[in-house]
Structure formats: structure tokens, C-alpha cells
Structure 1
Amino acid sequence: MKTLERLNVNDITIVLADLQPEIIASANRTLAEKDLRKSVSILVEGAEILDIPVFISVVSLHPDLYPNVIDEISMYVPTIRSTSNVFDDGPSLEKFSAQTRSTIILGGVASELVVVQSALEARRLGYDVHLLTDVCGGLSERTEKATFKQLEGVGVTLSSVAVFLSSLLPTTDDPRFALMFRTLGRFLDN
């Protein structure tokens, strides 16, 4: 893990797991839902500006129903998996591996379930992993804190949407700079 090296926007894929209304309602006890949704919204807006691919992974909670995702990511077609880990599901891994980017920006609910298992597997597969803590929801403060500590111990970089996106700001003469600055400014809105 080379945390002092700058992130290369062309080397990044954002992976969001289980951002489904039912899962957020039952498994997120550490971050207010409105704050989680705001962070997700700002993240995907920044991804759109910078042309970063977003990979959405979900589980089917009801065999007869297609999984719903939160409105902030409804513009993406999710990949349905049958495991607790994004990178341990054959079809998901096959679809994800088609891209050649080596850095994963990760978030999801719950931190102690899909997030930790996916981050660990991504590290085993050789990916550089950055976990956006404001795009994660945990079962409890105590267990989420332990999860984050475990992930740091295996080389996962803990970060936030604001830190991640600000590290990718283009120069002021690039038209995307003003768009990104305005997007980041949304954190100041109530």
C-alpha cells in the first residue's frame, strides 16, 4: 500500500455493496441514513464528472423480487450476487475483472459483513483498497470500529468521500475543477 502516492483517476473503480433500503434499515446503526445517502450522492456525482466507473453489487433478499437500491444509485444496473462477498461470487468477479483498474474505492452496508469480506478478498486478489467510511454503515459503533482496525491492519486505506474526491481535483484551468468544487460544496448544505 503506497498511501503517499497520488491516486490515478484512470486506475480507480468505485464498488458499492448492498446499498438497498431493506439492508440499510436493518443493518445500519452507525450513520444516519440521510448522511449516508448524501455521501453516496456526492460520490457518484464526482465519479460522473471524473468518468470513474461505479460497480453496484446487491443480494437478492426475496427470490421472486429484483433487488432495489437507494435512489442515489438507481441509475446503475446492479450485479446480483449469491455470496456475502462481492469478489467471492463467480458472476460478479467475472464482470468486475473485465475492467483493468487496480484500485477499489469501497463502501456499503454492513461494514461487518459485505464490506469487510469484500475488502479482505480484494486485498487477497492484489487490489489497492480504499474504504470510504462515510459510505459505510455498521451494526454497532464497537463492531464497526473493530472492523476498520482489522482492515487497516491488512493495508486498506480508510478515507472519506471528501478526502477521496478532493485528492482527484483537476487543476483550476480544467472545466471539471468548478464542477468538482461545487459537488464537494454540497457537504456544507443542510
Structure 2
Amino acid sequence: MPANSLLTPSDCVIILVDEQAGLAFAAGSADRQTLRGNTVALARTALAFDIPIVVSTSASKVYSGPLMPPLRAVLSGVVQIERRNMNLWEDEAARDAIISSGRRTLVIAGLFTEACVSFPVLSALTDGYEVHVVADACGGLTPASHDAALRRMEMAGAVMTSWLQFLLELQRDWTRHDTYEAARAIVVDHGGGYGIGLDYARDMFHPA
């Protein structure tokens, strides 16, 4: 589908790369707690809209540690793929998991933006995939290096987005009842003032 088309759940596969505490310690491009919350929101969005999720980790026994606990809780039913390559696209098991989803639109987030996010993005673009990068769920070593990596991916053809834009793009209409409660709950938990507003609106229209 054209990169300027609105996404639908049936288009996408979500890829989470190296969302591990040992790497999050070194991420300096954003507040770490916010970054973790944004990633959890993205994972919950995938589940709410029944989107396949590929989760890959690296060096989990020697440096990076396991997937961060809030993500483990949300993704308890998802098998994690451990790899050695920095480039997920060069790992046969991870790449095959993406290909077997049958989806040609990749939505990717992870640590670090400079390498383990940007490398598979550039490789997938070369292989003809459409790629959306959830920029506020990616962490880099510094703000400057994170931004440089985002610019390089965008120049190569990747589409930049945020977890909230992605969720709203999938929901599009708050009268879509099958995903309304799950989508609303994600925004309430992770959407800051917008989430507070949704709670306020429910209290006003449906007082206890």
C-alpha cells in the first residue's frame, strides 16, 4: 500500500527490538520511564487490534537483560526471539517470523535507534517493505544521535509516527465498539492529558 495511505490493522506487523533494561539504562534521548510507557502502549495497541507482534532480544544473558517487566506482563503469550546480529533483518529466525506474518507493512520500535532499529529498517526498505518507525518508542544514546538515525531512516523512505498516532489511525472512529474499550484504556493509561480528558468525559456523561 502507498506510504501516504492510512493504516488498518490487517496491514501491519509490529516489531519490538531489544526493549531490555540493560539497554534502557544507556538510552539518553528521552525520559526512560516515558519511553518504557510508550512502548507498553504500543504493545497493548497491537493486542487490542489483533496485530501480529515479533519481539526480538539480544545479549539477554550477558549484558542487556530480559525484556522489561511491564512488557513481559503485556506480552506474556509472545515468544521472544534471541539473536546475535545487531541487524534483526540478518537473523534468520526473526526475519522469517516477520515474513511468515504475511504483512508487508512493518511498524517498528526499540533500542537503540542508531543501530538495532535503523539497521533492520534500512534493510527491510531495500527489500521492498513499507516501514513505519514509532519514534517516541525508540531510544538512542543521545538526542542528537537518535534524531540523526530517525532522519536517515526517513530519507531512505521510512514513515515516522508515534504510538498515539498509530493507535488513533487504527481506531479512527470512537464508535467502533469492538476496539473502543481497549483503545480508550490505553489512552487513559498512557495518553497524559488526553487520557485524563477521556476519563472526565466518561464521568460527565455517565456519572457514578
1:52-71 matches, within 5 Å, as 52-62=51-61, 67-71=65-69
The percentage of counterpart residues that share the same residue type is 23
Mind listing any 5+ residue stretches in structure 1 that lack a counterpart?
A: none
Q: CA deviation at 1:67?
A: 4.9
TM-score for the superposition, normalised by structure 1:
0.91
**3-state DSSP of counterpart to 2:171:** coil
The CA distance in 2 between the partners of 1:129 and 1:66, in whole Å, is 26
Contact 1:19 1:70 in 2 (8 A): yes
Matches within 5 A, 1:11-90: 11-26=11-26, 28-62=27-61, 67-74=65-72, 75=76, 76-90=78-92
Q: AA paired with 2:141?
A: L
Alpha-carbon distance between aligned partners in 2 of 1:178 and 1:91, rounded to the nearest angstrom: 34
How many aligned residue pairs are there? Answer: 188
Greater Cα offset, 43-52 or 2-11: 2-11
Cα distance in 1 for residues equivalent to 2:105 and 2:8: 9
Q: Secondary structure at the match of 1:80?
A: strand
Deviations 1:40-65 (A, max 9, x none): 111111211110111111112546x9
The two structures have a TM-score, normalised by structure 2, of 0.83
Letter in 1 for 2:130: D
Larger Rg belongs to: 2
Structure with greater contact order relative to length (CA < 8 Å, sep ≥ 6): 1
* 8 A Cα contact 2:89 2:120, kept in partner: yes
Structure 1 residue runs of 4 or more that deviate by more than 6 Å after TM superposition = none
**Structure 2: where are the runs of 5+ without partners?**
197-208
Whether contact under 8 Å (2:60, 2:66) holds in the other structure is no
